[in-house]
Amino acid sequence: MTRIAKVPSNPPAELVREPRDVVVRRLPLWRIHTARGPYPSRWNALRTFGPLKTARFDPHPPPLGDHPGYGVAYTAFDIATCAAEVFQASRTIALTDEHDVTGWPPTRDLQLLDLTDTWALRNGASNSLASWKRSTCRAWSAAIRDSWPDLDGLVSRSTMTGREMVTLFDPSLTAFPAAPSFRRPLDHPAIQATMVRAAAECGYRIA
């Protein structure tokens, strides 16, 4: 009997989906992003440069470079998950002005492919896809983006906290409000207590 890979490095066949595989989310989103320094990003901008080896669901086609139309942003429904993801390499949250924490409510329902249920299993992988090697996740993300360019993105479980997080693709740009409901640098007094609680929740240090 031929052994089938639990999570193939690329989709083994044309991707399919059922109506139940696309979930609707309109809860406020949070992100922690680089706001100052050599590579700042706007709170409502998607990164078109990629794919980055350190990023899990970058949908950009190779080679590494700028790919207009293939933007990506990583968000979550809670600040602790954002912090766990952004600072996972050092497990130390740096309370500096380099990063901003930003929150906003989408202006419409987001249509997201649900990676938390059986979609991956029915497409030749398994539910562990979202926690597999980053290169594999990027290949699947690129295939999803090309198969359904109308999707706002993906919903998956954070490999750090296990909570839901949302990877946004280009169609989601029409769901950003004119201004965020909250935005502060990590060294601002209004957010420091929240970041200290997030660090305690994740077992991270504060610097």
Query: Cα–Cα distances in Å, from 86 out to 54, 79, 99, 192?
Result: 11, 11, 10, 16
Band (pLDDT 50/70/90 cuts) for residue 2 is low
- In this prediction, residue 5 carries a pLDDT of 84
Does 1 have pLDDT greater than 70?
no
Lowest mean pLDDT, pick from 38-42, 147-151, 189-193, 199-203: 38-42
Does 52 have pLDDT greater than 90?
yes
Q: Where are the alpha helices (DSSP H) in 36-180?
A: 79-86, 119-122, 134-147
Q: Are 139 and 148 in contact (CB under 8 A)?
A: no
Q: Are 198 and 79 in contact (CB under 8 A)?
A: yes
Does 3 have pLDDT greater than 80?
no
Q: Are 115 and 155 in contact (CB under 8 A)?
A: yes
CA angle 129, 148, 144 (to 5 degrees): 20
Q: Give the start-to-end residue ranges of the domains of the chain.
A: 19-206
Q: How high is the mean pLDDT of the chain?
A: 96
Amino acid in the structure at residue 38: P
